[in-house]
């Protein structure tokens, strides 16, 4: 339910009754229990305009507030804040209806839009590395979130499968093992070997250059080799996607090469619009206020990363008809996207009303704040990292006795992969990210394990109870009140996380929710002797909705729950 907008409506009605004209204003969530559930602090701004003091305004609103519905109490505080309390009877009803709704009371968007989420985008010439981890995890979450809210999401994996290095790679593939079954097991090594060969042997280097031209001109033999190479490389990525439980499939792949046929048209259209300037033989776009131009075609006729991205934007806006296009890419490409977006709008490739966003994220660092590397200074391979996560997670399972070997294995996978994903999602995405095994695999703090533990704990309550839940929810005390309001804020939080593309809002919410639940459970026993039947039933339902909300929240993050931990 959209809780905030319901409270806003109450305030709006008070404005109307008081005869105050106003701009749209919004309540905020109260930061402390003594401030009520929501706070209205628009009186300050209004006071100036109306020539009154803020407290007078707050009083005028208070006098006209309807206390017979959602809001039951209001209090003026400080210079003119209005603290608002929600009716516990109303809350109880809403929690109950959320509990009986498979979407937990979260409505689907009234006006869903088509959204392209561009994420992962590994380069086929090399093994996927930790740099692609963040894009894959954040992008998948964003796509899940928008899908859940009802948007029509089109996942796009803009893989790097084109460029001069492929000449060298396929020439080497032809020489070593044409079907690639052996030599391409380790792409990183293959690349190194090919490069060594390229640097050492002039004849090989010539062949590599010749093959670049041949792929571009559609030579069958070379294209076949290239296709083989891409296929195997992509399969490596899919191993990683499987391990990560992300939803990217082959159907989502729209590679750079897909846009090759559009590139001459892109240049043509830019020419027609008089946007191109020749500089040192290259076709450039000089944008107002920007020192460095966007180069769209080199002197030798070759196209660039930016040209392909312009073609992709054009395709996404006009063929896919997306109204929002979100690029989940490293913050260091910020300049590139700023320029490309500007060109796309100025050229009319993308209509004015389409929202273009660079969902930037920071660099992954090791514990000492250095870019993440292996001990010998190489790049860490993603697959190795994920395997390590599972091994480490096994160590975190406290009570292995109660499980079979296979169960420990399955559990470790859920915990380990969940930990890696959650740690990545829980920070402000634009910050650099310090990778720390101990922290991410801890039962305490804002971790997936903490959330999975809270969920499992609630399941154990239900196992013990083992009966049928009936009766109404009754909000018995302040803690139950807070827990319920928190549960009803789920939709507002998801909407905000979707608008701002901030998965850490989801993790922060889940963490607060689980923490609040633990406190509630400590103070308000459920199955203990002496708890009367009505109270027990009511508390069980609060616990149930808490568990369901945690599960749904984690599901959006692409993390599984377990019934026992
Ligand atoms: N392949 C690129 C890289 O590894 C990322 C692609 C991002 N998407 C895009 N449309 N440019 O840096």
Ligand 1: atom nearest CA of 309 is: 10
Say yes or no: CB of residue 309 within 6 Å of ligand 1.
Answer: yes
User: How many A from CA of 432 to the centre of ligand 1?
Assistant: 19
Flag whether 219 is in a domain: yes
Flag whether 144 is in a domain: no
Query: How much is the pLDDT for 122?
Result: 95
Kindly list the distances between the CA atom of residue 419 and the CA atoms of 164, 234, 383, 550, 558, in Å, as whole numbers in the listed order. 38, 25, 15, 15, 11
Q: List residues bridging with 326 in a β-sheet.
A: 117, 357
Instruction: Find the angle CA(326)-CA(113)-CA(511) to the nearest 5 degrees.
Output: 65
Q: What is the DSSP letter of 70?
A: S
What domain range is 205 assigned to? 165-248
Ligand 1: atom nearest CA of 312 is: 10
Confidence label for 476 from pLDDT (cuts 50, 70 and 90): very high
- Mean pLDDT of the 50-63 span: 91
- Mean pLDDT of the 115-139 span: 92
Hey, which of 123, 138, 329, 344 would you mutate to test ligand 1's pocket, going by the most ligand atoms within 8 Å of its Cβ? 329
Residue 186 pLDDT greater than 90, yes or no? no
- Mean pLDDT of the 226-242 span: 94
Give the count of domains, the chain.
2
Flag whether 75 is in a domain: yes
Pairwise CA distance, residues 475 & 457, whole Å: 22
**In a 10 Å sphere around its CB, with 0-12 CB exposed, 13-18 middle and 19+ buried, how is residue 102 labelled?**
exposed
Kindly list the distances between the CA atom of residue 431 and the CA atoms of 121, 291, 362, 369, 426, in Å, as whole numbers in the listed order. 20, 27, 5, 12, 11
Pairwise CA distance, residues 483 & 476, whole Å: 11
Query: How much is the pLDDT for 42?
Result: 87
Kindly list the distances between the CA atom of residue 52 and the CA atoms of 16, 75, 82, 83, 283, in Å, as whole numbers in the listed order. 18, 19, 16, 20, 61
Hey, which of 116, 123, 157, 158 would you mutate to test ligand 1's pocket, going by the most ligand atoms within 8 Å of its Cβ? 158
- Mean pLDDT of the 10-32 span: 88
**pLDDT one-digit tens code per residue, 129-178:** 787 899 999 999 999 999 999 999 999 999 999 999 999 999 999 999 88
Query: How much is the pLDDT for 534?
Result: 96
- Mean pLDDT of the 101-115 span: 97
Say yes or no: CB of residue 123 within 6 Å of ligand 1.
Answer: yes
- CA-closest residue to ligand 1 atom 2: 121
Boundary-marking domain end, from 50, 67, 86: 86
Q: List residues bridging with 381 in a β-sheet.
A: 129
12 Cβ neighbours under 8 A, 6+ residues apart: none
Say yes or no: CB of residue 158 within 6 Å of ligand 1.
Answer: yes
Higher pLDDT, 203 or 43: 203
Higher pLDDT, 545 or 365: 545
Confidence label for 540 from pLDDT (cuts 50, 70 and 90): very high
Q: Determine which of 11-25, 102-116, 233-247, 458-472 has the lowest per-residue pLDDT on average.
A: 11-25
Higher pLDDT, 348 or 370: 348
Ligand 1: atom nearest CA of 159 is: 1
Query: How much is the pLDDT for 38?
Result: 97
Flag whether 467 is in a domain: no
Flag whether 51 is in a domain: yes
- Mean pLDDT of the 277-298 span: 95
User: How many A from CA of 231 to the centre of ligand 1?
Assistant: 18
Q: Determine which of 12-16, 399-403, 434-438, 497-501 has the lowest per-residue pLDDT on average.
A: 399-403
Say yes or no: CB of residue 344 within 6 Å of ligand 1.
Answer: no
Say yes or no: CB of residue 254 within 6 Å of ligand 1.
Answer: no
The whole-model pTM stands at: 0.95
- Mean pLDDT of the 194-206 span: 96
Boundary-marking domain end, from 29, 52, 86: 86
Pairwise CA distance, residues 200 & 69, whole Å: 81
Say yes or no: CB of residue 54 within 6 Å of ligand 1.
Answer: no
Higher pLDDT, 224 or 381: 224
Kindly report the backbone phi and psi dihedral angles of residue 525, in degrees, each rounded to the nearest multiple of 5, phi listed first.
-60, 155
Q: What percent of the chain has pLDDT over 90?
A: 82
Residue 528 pLDDT greater than 80, yes or no? yes
Ligand 1: atom nearest CA of 330 is: 12
Q: Determine which of 13-27, 450-464, 535-549 has the lowest per-residue pLDDT on average.
A: 13-27
- Mean pLDDT of the 193-212 span: 96
Pairwise CA distance, residues 71 & 74, whole Å: 8
Flag whether 195 is in a domain: yes
Residue 22 pLDDT greater than 90, yes or no? no
Residue 291 pLDDT greater than 80, yes or no? yes
Boundary-marking domain end, from 248, 280, 309: 248
Say yes or no: CB of residue 256 within 6 Å of ligand 1.
Answer: no
Hey, which of 119, 121, 262 would you mutate to test ligand 1's pocket, going by the most ligand atoms within 8 Å of its Cβ? 121
Q: For all residues of the chain together, what is the average pLDDT? A: 94
Higher pLDDT, 265 or 48: 265
- CA-closest residue to ligand 1 atom 7: 121
Residue 92 pLDDT greater than 90, yes or no? yes
**pLDDT one-digit tens code per residue, 372-396:** 777 777 777 888 889 999 999 998 8
- Mean pLDDT of the 400-410 span: 87
- CA-closest residue to ligand 1 atom 4: 122
User: How many A from CA of 120 to the centre of ligand 1?
Assistant: 8
- Mean pLDDT of the 180-209 span: 91
Q: What percent of the chain has pLDDT over 70?
A: 100
Pairwise CA distance, residues 319 & 261, whole Å: 15
Query: How much is the pLDDT for 227?
Result: 96
Q: What is the DSSP letter of 186?
A: S
What torsion, rounded to 10 degrees, do the Cα atoms 413, 416, 418, 424 define?
Answer: -150
Flag whether 377 is in a domain: no
Structure tokens at 317: 């806006």
Kindly list the distances between the CA atom of residue 211 and the CA atoms of 81, 192, 216, in Å, as whole numbers in the listed order. 71, 18, 8
Hey, which of 138, 160, 336, 357 would you mutate to test ligand 1's pocket, going by the most ligand atoms within 8 Å of its Cβ? 160
Confidence label for 346 from pLDDT (cuts 50, 70 and 90): very high
Among residues 259, 271, 62, the alpha carbon closest in space to that of 158 is found at 259
Flag whether 236 is in a domain: yes
Kindly list the distances between the CA atom of residue 263 and the CA atoms of 307, 336, 338, in Å, as whole numbers in the listed order. 7, 18, 20
Query: How much is the pLDDT for 552?
Result: 98
């Amino acid at each position: 339910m959209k809780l905030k907008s319901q409270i806003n409506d109450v305030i709006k009605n008070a404005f109307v009754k008081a005869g105050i004209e106003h701009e749209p204003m919004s309540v905020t969530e109260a930061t402390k229990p003594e401030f009520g559930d929501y706070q209205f602090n628009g009186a300050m701004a209004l006071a100036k305009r109306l020539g009154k003091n803020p407290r007078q305004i707050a009083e005028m609103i208070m006098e006209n507030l309807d206390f017979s519905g959602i809001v039951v109490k209001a209090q003026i505080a400080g210079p003119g804040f209005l603290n608002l309390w929600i009716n516990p009877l109303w809350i109880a009803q809403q929690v109950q209806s959320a509990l009986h709704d498979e979407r937990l009371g979260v409505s689907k968007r009234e006006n869903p839009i088509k959204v392209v989420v561009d994420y992962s985008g590994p380069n086929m010439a090399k093994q996927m590395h930790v740099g692609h981890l963040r894009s894959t995890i954040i992008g998948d979450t964003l796509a899940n979130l928008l899908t859940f809210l009802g948007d029509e999401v089109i996942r796009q994996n803009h893989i790097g499968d084109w460029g001069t290095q492929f000449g060298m790679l396929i020439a080497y593939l032809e020489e070593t093992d044409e079907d690639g079954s052996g030599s391409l097991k380790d792409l990183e090594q293959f690349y190194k070997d090919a490069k060594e060969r390229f640097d050492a042997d002039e004849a090989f280097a010539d062949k590599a250059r010749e093959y670049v031209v041949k792929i571009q001109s559609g030579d069958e033999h070379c294209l076949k080799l290239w296709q083989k190479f891409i296929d195997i490389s992509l399969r490596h990525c899919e191993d990683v996607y499987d391990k990560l439980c992300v939803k990217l499939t082959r159907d989502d792949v729209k590679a750079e090469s897909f846009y090759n046929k559009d590139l001459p048209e892109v240049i043509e259209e830019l020419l027609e619009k008089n946007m191109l300037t020749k500089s040192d033989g290259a076709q450039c776009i000089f944008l107002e206020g920007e020192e460095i131009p966007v180069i769209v075609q080199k002197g030798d006729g070759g196209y660039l990363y930016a040209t392909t991205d312009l073609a992709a934007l054009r395709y996404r806006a006009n063929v896919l008809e997306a109204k929002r296009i979100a690029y989940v890419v490293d913050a260091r490409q910020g300049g590139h996207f700023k320029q490309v977006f500007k060109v796309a709008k100025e050229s009319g490739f993308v209509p004015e009303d389409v929202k273009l966003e660079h969902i930037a994220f920071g660099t992954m660092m090791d514990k000492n704040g250095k870019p993440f590397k292996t001990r010998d200074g190489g790049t860490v391979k993603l697959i190795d990292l994920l395997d390590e996560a599972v091994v480490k997670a096994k160590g975190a399972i406290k009570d292995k006795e109660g499980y079979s070997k296979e169960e420990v294995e399955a559990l470790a996978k859920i915990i380990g992969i969940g930990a890696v994903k959650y740690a990545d999602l829980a920070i402000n995405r634009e910050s650099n990210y310090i990778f720390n095994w101990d922290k991410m695999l801890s039962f305490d703090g804002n971790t997936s394990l903490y959330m999975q533990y809270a969920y499992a704990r609630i399941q154990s309550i239900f196992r013990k109870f083992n009966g049928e839940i009936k009766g109404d929810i009754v909000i018995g005390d302040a803690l139950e009140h807070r827990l319920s309001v928190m549960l009803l804020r789920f939709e507002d939080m998801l909407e905000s996380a979707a608008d701002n593309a901030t998965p850490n809002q989801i993790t922060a919410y889940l963490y607060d929710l689980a923490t609040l639940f633990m406190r509630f459970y400590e103070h308000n026993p459920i199955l203990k002797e002496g708890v009367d039947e009505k109270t027990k039933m009511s508390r069980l339902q609060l616990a149930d909705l808490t568990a369901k909300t945690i599960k749904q929240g984690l599901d959006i993050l692409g993390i599984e729950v377990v019934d026992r931990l």
